[in-house]
Structure 1
C-alpha cells in the first residue's frame, strides 16, 4: 500500500492513509466507516482497493487476514502447515548431491535475492548515514534469536566507531539503558515474528526522545516499524519450521561494509588502534 500511494488519486490516498494509520484494525471496518474517516465517498474506498490490485474490498480484507495469520505464525504452526506454499520446496538444482541440501540452497538463494531486490536504496543509505555519524550514539537490541544479529552488528561497529551500546540482559540495567535514550541516539532493533512487545516500546521511547530508529524485520513488519525512521525487511523463507535469518545476516554484513566505507580513514585508524590494544593485552 505504501509503495502504491503515488499511483492513487488524492481521494484514494486519503483512504490508504486511514487504513495505514489504523493498521490492521481499520481494514476490518465497514466501507461506510472508512469513507467517513477519510472524508470521501464509499465508491472511492472501493476504487482504492481496486487500484491497489484487489478484486474488491472483501478481497483486501481476506489478504489482510492471511497476512495476520503469517505474522503470528509459530514454529509449531509452520511445522504443521509445512506443506503450504510458504514453505514449499523449490526444484532441486541440477547436480546437487543431496536433495535436502539442494532444496535448502535454492530457498536461500531465492530469499537472499528477493531480500536485496526489495531493500529500498534510500532506506539503506539512510541507515548508513545514521550509523556512520560520529556524533550519534548507537544502541542495538534483538530478541530471542535475533539478539545474535544485534550483537553481530554491534561488535563490528565497535571495531571502527565509538559509542556502541548493547541492550543489557538484566532488568535493572535494561531500565537504566532505556532511560539514557536521547535525541542524538540511533536505536537499532531486530524484531521478527513472533514479535516482542518490549522492542516496540523501545522503538517508541527512542522516537519520543527525539532519536532515530532503525528496524530490521520480516515482510509482515514488526509493530516496532511504526516508530522507525528506517525499516529494512528481509525474507525468512526456509526449509524448516524456523524462519531463516541468513538473508538478515547478509544484509547486516552489507550494512557494516557500507558504514565502514563511509567512515573512511577515521574508521581505519580506529581499527588499527583496536588491533594494537588487543595484541598488547593478549586478546589475539
Structure 2
C-alpha cells in the first residue's frame, strides 16, 4: 500500500527549510482540505510568500502545486473506494500475473497467500511502537472502562477484541444495537473510559461522532483504521492503521485481526497475575453454569 500524501510530508519535514516547514505544517493541520486551498491562502496562513509554497511542493517531489493536489485527489479516490469500484481492479490483477505468489495446487490460493503475507507484514512494520504501547497501557488499566465500537463489517473485529478482553479484565462494554440503548450507552461516556473504534472505508459518520463525543467527555480514544485514515482518527489518542489489500473487491480485515491478537497478548501480559486469576475464575463460573 502506497504511503499517503500526509505520510510523505511528515517524512520529509526534516528536508525542508524553516519557511517551507511552516507551509507543510499548515497542510498537515488542515489535511486533506487545506491542500486544496489556493497558494495565496496557504501562504497567508503560514505567514510566508507564495513562492515559498511553490518551493515546498517542489521540495516534496512534485512539479508544482497542481501536481501535489492531483496526487491528493487520487488518494481520496482510493480512500472512498467501494467494493463496486474495486471489482474491476481485482479482476485485472490475475493470479498468474502477481509476482511472489506461492506455488500451490490452485494458483488462486497462492496469490491470496502472497497478498495476505505482504499485508500482514507491512502492517506490523508500519505500526508505531509507541502507539501500540499506548494502546496496551490503556487497555490494561483496571481503573478504566473499555468500550468497543465497530461498523457494518468491523463490528466483528470489535467483538473479537472485546470478547478476549472480558476474559481477563472487568468493565468491557459493547456498543448496543438498539437506538435507545445506544443513546444511554453514549450518554454515560466518562473521563476514565477508553473507547476503541473500528472504522474502515467507506467510513461511517457515526463512528467519527462517537470518537468526538468520547474525547469531549475527557476519555481516551483508540482508532483502528486503514492507511487513508478514518475521520475518527482526528479525535484519537492512538491510531493503529492496518493494510487492507486483497485479491477481491472487498478490503481484507486479516491484518487487523492479526494486530488485535498481538494487542490482546500484550495486554494480558501487562495485566499479569490478576488477569490470569480472572481467567481462572471465568473458567470456573462457565463450568459451574454449564456454559462449557
TM-score, with length taken from structure 1: 0.95
Find 1:25's aligned residue among 24, 27, 33.
33
Gap runs ≥5 in structure 2: 1-8
1:15·1:45 contact (CA, 8 Å) conserved in 2?
yes
Match for residue 123 of structure 2? 115
CA contact (8 A) 1:130 1:186 kept: yes
Paired residues of 1:19 and 1:27 also in contact (CA < 8 A): yes
1:109-146 alpha-carbon deviations (Å, 9 max, x no partner): 11011111111111111111111111111110000000
Match of residue 214 from structure 2 = 206
Compute the RMSD of aligned alpha carbons: 1.7
Counterpart residue number, 1:219: 227
The answer to whether the 8 Å contact 1:92/1:99 transfers is no
Q: Describe how 1:218-257 pairs up with structure 2 within 5 A.
A: 218-257=226-265
SS at match of 1:126: helix
- Unaligned stretches of 5+ residues in structure 1: none
Cα distance between partner residues in 2 of 1:173 and 1:47? 54
The answer to whether the 8 A contact 2:214-2:221 is kept is yes
Q: What's the CA shift for 1:63?
A: 1.1
Q: How big is the shift at 1:11? A: 2.4
109 and 28 in structure 1: CA distance in 2 versus 1, 3 angstrom threshold: same
From 135, 141, 145, the equivalent of 2:149 is 141
Specify which of 188, 192, 197 is matched with residue 200 of structure 2: 192
Alignment of 1:122-133 (within 5 A): 122-133=130-141
Q: TM-score, normalised by structure 2?
A: 0.92
Whether contact under 8 Å (1:15, 1:48) holds in the other structure is: yes
Other-structure match for 1:65:
73
